[in-house]
Amino acid sequence: MRKLRCNATFSGMSILSEIGEHEAIRRILPALGKDPELRVGAGDDCAVCRLPGGGLDQVFTTDPIIEQVHFRSEESPERVGNKAVGRVLSDIAAMGGRPQWILVNVVAPPALEFQYLERIYTGMTRLCEQFGTLIIGGDMAKGSSLELHVFGTGLLPENSALLRSGAKAGDSILVTGPLGGSFESGRHLDFTPRVAEGCFLRESGLVHAMMDISDGLATDLRHILAQSGVGAALEGAAIPKTGTLEQALFDGEDFELLLTSADPDRLQSKWQEQFGTSLPVIGKITAEPGTLKLDGRILKAKAFEHFAGD
């Protein structure tokens, strides 16, 4: 990445594929500004804003899903709709928020069958209903491939959002479900966002940091490490998997919650009581900033990036 950053086109300017998505976002962030009502800006699963009236914070997030990037053209439209809204609900869950409102921008080719679009809305509204939220607006425009841009808001008690920056050395690392093989199994389309789980974990008062796993355990955990100024040591055998360890670490699109806690025993027992399932500990937060180890050895980065590699 460092080398690529120094590359330049003949005009002396870098193009997005040389910079990559994460670096492009990192460079733009400082220009966005601050506000006393904005508690957490871009860089977490959601932005967190103080709501007028007091007592509540509101979270905001947005996710695009694009044909041939996030789903294949032959996919069932209900499942595409489920994924589009599910990703946003998963971001809200990752803060411990209760979903509130959804808006959707559709970009579609003029030759798209209307029935296909209707079935996408069926998938979206079905998931919205399940979680007590509603699509309240949006817009439509034509484009060369099908895209859904989903915007969502959620609510939670003020100052209670679970952030990526809260992990502390000595915390245990836990995960709400098995990881890996989400694309092969189709789970990336019909997953259930961990909304009830996210609220429960926030209310437990036992969680220091939380996020959802979209880019893969290894990649996403690095965000917690970077934002908390800590390191981590994972135990390969302890990670719940649906395939190989490699898949569990790097596949992504699991949409399980990744969290840290200083009191994992009490959290696990509360969880067992509430959901009747286990909440496995998969490693520890360490005091070595930015160092991610797997079974005692340094784990190298390997991540999907939009733009990069084109």
Contacts of 151 (CB under 8 A, 6+ apart): 60, 61, 62, 88, 102, 103, 104, 105
306 binds a copy of itself (CB under 8 A): yes
Binding mask 205-234 for a copy of itself (x = CB under 8 A): ------------------------------
**Considering only residues 118, 184, 246, 295, which one is a binding residue for a copy of itself as defined by CB under 8 A?**
118
160 binds a copy of itself (CB under 8 A): no
Strand partners, 24: none
Query: What does the alpha-carbon distance between residue 88 and residue 46 come to, in Å, rounded to a whole number?
Result: 9
Nearer to a copy of itself, 104 or 163 (CB): 104
> For residues 61 and 155, is the Cβ–Cβ distance under 8 A?
no
Window 62-91: residues binding a copy of itself (CB under 8 A): 62-64, 66, 69
Query: What does the alpha-carbon distance between residue 61 and residue 57 come to, in Å, rounded to a whole number?
Result: 14
Q: How far is the CB of 292 from a copy of itself (least distance, A)?
A: 24
Q: How far is the CB of 39 from a copy of itself (least distance, A)?
A: 10
Binding mask 7-36 for a copy of itself (x = CB under 8 A): --x-x-xxxxx-x-x--xx-xx--xxxxx-
**Considering only residues 50, 76, 117, 288, which one is a binding residue for a copy of itself as defined by CB under 8 A?**
117
**Considering only residues 76, 130, 155, 242, which one is a binding residue for a copy of itself as defined by CB under 8 A?**
155
Pairing of strands 231-234, 56-66: unpaired
Q: 24 φ, ψ to 5°?
A: -60, -45
DSSP 238: G
- Which of 269-308 are b and which e, b meaning 16 or more Cβ less than 10 Å from the residue's Cβ? ebbeeeeeeebbbbbbbbeeeeebbbeeeebeeebebbeb
93 binds a copy of itself (CB under 8 A): no
Q: How far is the CB of 260 from a copy of itself (least distance, A)?
A: 23
- Tokens describing residue 71: 């789903």
**Considering only residues 3, 10, 111, 298, which one is a binding residue for a copy of itself as defined by CB under 8 A?**
111
Nearer to a copy of itself, 101 or 183 (CB): 101
Amino acid at the residue 247 = Q
Binding mask 232-271 for a copy of itself (x = CB under 8 A): ----------------------------------------
173 binds a copy of itself (CB under 8 A): no
Nearer to a copy of itself, 138 or 240 (CB): 138
**Angle at Cα 199 formed by Cα 39 and Cα 161, nearest 5°?**
10
| Of the candidates 100, 59, 77, the residue with the CA atom closest to the CA atom of residue 148 | 77
